Amino acid sequence: MMSAAPVLPDPSRRRVLGALGAAGLAGTVPFVRAGTRRPLGVALVGLGYYSRDLLAPALQMTKHCRLAGIVTGTPAKVEEWQRRHAIPDRNVYDYAGFDRIADNPDIDVVYIVLPNHLHKPFTLRAAAAGKHVWCEKPMALDATEARAMIDACRHHRVQLAIGYRMQHEPNTQAVMALATSRPFGPLQRIRAEAGFHGFDGASGDNWRLDPARGGGAMYDMGVYALNAARYTAGTEPIAVTATSSIQRPEIFRGVDETMRFRLEFPDGVTADCATSFGENMNRLRAECAEGWYELSPFQAYEGVRGEASDGRRFDVAIGATPAQQARQMDADALAILEHRPPRVPGEEGWRDMRVLDAIFASARDGGARVEIG
């Protein structure tokens, strides 16, 4: 098992950090010895479906990182994970003993794949342990938590990246680029919808239905629509109106089943967005003065595709699931190795959380217009 790259001696470290400071990057770019190209060791924190069926297989496809450790609150899962992925005993942690990861040179990055209310505490613990952090979306429960996560990672000089896999997907990237090139003239309207019908007969301890743990459609699926509206506009929203509804009150108690929200952007651009645990929806569309373009589906694990009014198609294929997750983790690992910010840093997650706070505030106030300060 390869050990982690040593930190540079203090004089060299100070010189390079000084140069980064002059470039405005100090505190956001982590330190790995120049020329290092060994795969970074990743520990998955939380071993549910997304880790088991998507991230762990994706790590077998990556070039710049590898599955090195696991962190779980369920001891019964450990034996199978160790057998399947050859994880040694020294790289297995429970939640209480997580902080001991600071002494493990096999692990460079922790990927937090836990219920939403645990994103902040485990990010802070990982940063204090000197490990880079990849955190699933939504980044946190609110913008204050997100800012604390950013500050902690900056203080401990580790990198923080948020798991917005769509921003690593090539067809999505092509649509993002149109926000700058504007081939169809000024943008006028955006529509972004992400949701599915689920949870019929739900029982047991499902955190997605628990308000204390960050449950509800807006946190889970709504962030896709919100983030898509922002990257399609290429600017930040200035105000929002939102309404929440529940069609199955026996299932959804204290969390939103469906959320509809309108974002107002500068220059009069609007985005009508929706998310739901009760309706199937998966579409992103931009209407401009001289044409339109869309992706449908825009946030599937594979098969993202779309078209535009001039006949162009967005249909680059990258392979079957979990190819998106592999691209995301390889890109984030390479950012660490090359001492540069990731494609989706913590600040991107914080920008979504600021808007999400306003969405919830508007919904609580019956759809009142809320400005985003």
pLDDT digits (tens, 9 = 90+) for 27-45: 333 344 444 479 999 999 9
What residues contact 239, with CB distance under 8 A and at least 6 apart? 263, 264, 358, 369, 370, 371, 372
CATH superfamily of 167-319+353-371: Dihydrodipicolinate Reductase; domain 2 (3.30.360.10)
pLDDT digits (tens, 9 = 90+) for 252-307: 999 999 999 999 999 999 999 999 999 999 999 999 999 999 999 999 999 999 99
Q: Is 286 left (phi over 0), alpha (psi -120 to 50) or beta?
A: beta
Amino acid at 298: F
CATH 3.30.360.10 positions along the chain are 167-319+353-371
pLDDT at 198 over 80: yes
**pLDDT for 204:** 62
Q: What is the pTM of this model?
A: 0.89
Q: In the CATH hierarchy, which fold is given to the domain comprising 10-165+325-345?
A: Rossmann fold (3.40.50)
pLDDT at residue 31 in the model: 41
Q: Tell me what percent of the residues of the chain surpass a pLDDT of 90.
A: 88
More confident of the two residues 373 and 22: 373
Quote the pLDDT of residue 205.
Answer: 82
Segments of the chain assigned to CATH 3.40.50.720: 10-165+325-345
pLDDT tier at 12 (50, 70, 90 boundaries)? very low
